[in-house]
Structure 1
């Protein structure tokens, strides 16, 4: 059995304390006074609400599924997947076979296109569910649904005449119809596993995607700060279009927080005894050093990827604290355990913006406790 590092033990917490904290975090998100998990009246479906935008997103539904399979919560997993297939799945049109990225809590679609980070989390969560609980029937034949979804992502153009989610070089797109990417979407540790759990003919393509994303991440993360932009060109250069996407996304802001957390998890799950593993370690150390060397008043702000401090404050400061800590899966610098301790001492966020922060919070809790596992 694979052994996963428990960094909370390394800062002196007991296993009992750790188990309680992880369980309490899940329960607060799903069932507590500040929950953002809701179920339909008949109990057949469930959904996580983006409390800042009052919608449900493939990001949140797929994140919830990953949380549930990691926590062995099959009932909630099936409720979420039923919601996705009932209210988000696109049965016709140019995006047939994908999932609408935003849906009203009533079940009405707000969008007719996907956001690829949802599809990749759906697929990974389904594969883990198949391995952990076994396949059921219909939409609950998890492994078949994962294989079908992975096929659509790679071959949409030939299957339905639309756009693939990965380009010909193996890099994930921001959305299928646009030719740029989002560094936080790059999950090579997922693609390694997709290659082992897809239809056999697509195995080489997922191996190519894993290698391509690892090469890409080295370009997208700044060599001195470890920071990445929210959106970028395929060569890693920040994407500067401020007009079409509601403002700037070439800076280190909300989406970008996830990149270092993903790098930490890749270091934990994949072979880290190689050149990319060393790069992960260096990048995680650099990012933590950047934040811990900032003046307190600028420590949760907005930044160019070279570290230039801009006006304004982070929209999701708790989520940022969580991902700085998750970097410690790879980091071995002087701030690695301090970041974990600071995260442990940070409570879940309350208020209208709690959805995104607390999703990143639970993922960090799972990862740093050795409970974010491959199944």
Structure 2
């Protein structure tokens, strides 16, 4: 049982992989502070956060010039990890004001993208935003305490989680989790999932803080997601598809494209698995999986990262987000114990933030990896 009880949730101890390879605490902390400063207050071709008025702000998807629940909820998680309450509250107020539905089939869900002025571009939600919003809000409640609405963080998190499981029971709409498999959906209406949405380490914590009657579901969802990732990740390469059916097989081609392959969304799967291992250590498979993925990428130059079939067959198409992929390959070192783990930590440390038009997604993944590998992506 030692393995099961040795995660950071039980011990309060978080590995600092940068320190393990020889960097000092001072160097590491300076790097984190500088990176935060670059992303939230830096040069125009690097920053991804912009304040709006006196009390709001947004994370800009610089490739599409829109604001997405993915980035907004990521920004809130970054802010609570960094103890930046002002930024957190600004992002949350924007999300609450412009993105969260107050009625109809999507009540309490968030429109997945809008313009920087808050005008909605789509009404539908994307569940990866909702789960990050809920977790960031619970951490904020535990770190800073609750204030008056909408800064009653724990209550706001429970409203979101309630909708995720129960939408449609009293009328129109659909839940974000499939009731029979306990797996998160790609969108509420879809009959398939997205492996990179699976965050069993979050569900373990939702099982502590959600409405009491839903806590057993979240415990089951954590176990179901861990098992699902075994089937969604290729047994030799460790690569997972963008979208996958509930049995883990790649989902059929969609009207908006072919997502049976390893591409941008799928990068996150490696980091999610590694952080679940760091926090809870409930699934020994995660170690071998992380080793497999790093072995696949070890001899591929970052500039040559591309789209792959999950068996590793490369496409002509280069990755749109090579720095993001490097970041998640490095995050896998939290779980990996193979010969490539240190290589990816060093390579990541030696790689700067991405600048330019496509920087948003890469730099979100970059900052989470910087926090995770330094032992600063923590449970509050």
State whether residues 291 and 299 of structure 1, in contact with CA within 8 Å, keep that contact through their aligned partners in structure 2.
no
After superposition, residues 339-358 of structure 1 pair within 5 angstroms as 339-358=344-363
Q: CA deviation at 1:171?
A: 0.4
TM-score (norm 2): 0.95
Match of 1:291 in 2: 297
After superposition, residues 197-346 of structure 1 pair within 5 angstroms as 197-242=209-254, 244-245=255-256, 247-272=257-282, 276=283, 278-294=284-300, 296=301, 299-346=304-351
State whether residues 173 and 179 of structure 1, in contact with CA within 8 Å, keep that contact through their aligned partners in structure 2.
yes
Match of 1:131 in 2: 142
TM-score (norm 1): 0.96
State whether residues 61 and 84 of structure 1, in contact with CA within 8 Å, keep that contact through their aligned partners in structure 2.
yes
Q: Which runs of 4+ in 1 moved over 4 A?
A: none
**Structure 1 residue corresponding to 2:132, chosen from 117, 121, 124:** 121
State whether residues 28 and 35 of structure 1, in contact with CA within 8 Å, keep that contact through their aligned partners in structure 2.
yes
The CA distance in 1 between the partners of 2:303 and 2:80, in whole Å, is 37
Q: CA deviation at 1:93?
A: 2.4
State whether residues 104 and 172 of structure 2, in contact with CA within 8 Å, keep that contact through their aligned partners in structure 1.
no
Count of residue pairs the alignment pairs up: 367
Partner of 2:276: helix, strand, or coil? helix
Q: CA deviation at 1:285?
A: 0.3
After superposition, residues 75-154 of structure 1 pair within 5 angstroms as 75-154=86-165
State whether residues 107 and 163 of structure 2, in contact with CA within 8 Å, keep that contact through their aligned partners in structure 1.
no
Gaps of 5+ in 2: 1-10
Root-mean-square deviation (CA), in Å?
Answer: 1.1
Partner of 1:94: helix, strand, or coil? helix
Partner of 2:315: helix, strand, or coil? strand
Q: CA deviation at 1:36?
A: 1.6
Gaps of 5+ in 1: none
Partner of 2:58: helix, strand, or coil? strand
**Structure 2 residue corresponding to 1:22, chosen from 32, 53, 56:** 32
The CA distance in 2 between the partners of 1:174 and 1:40, in whole Å, is 30
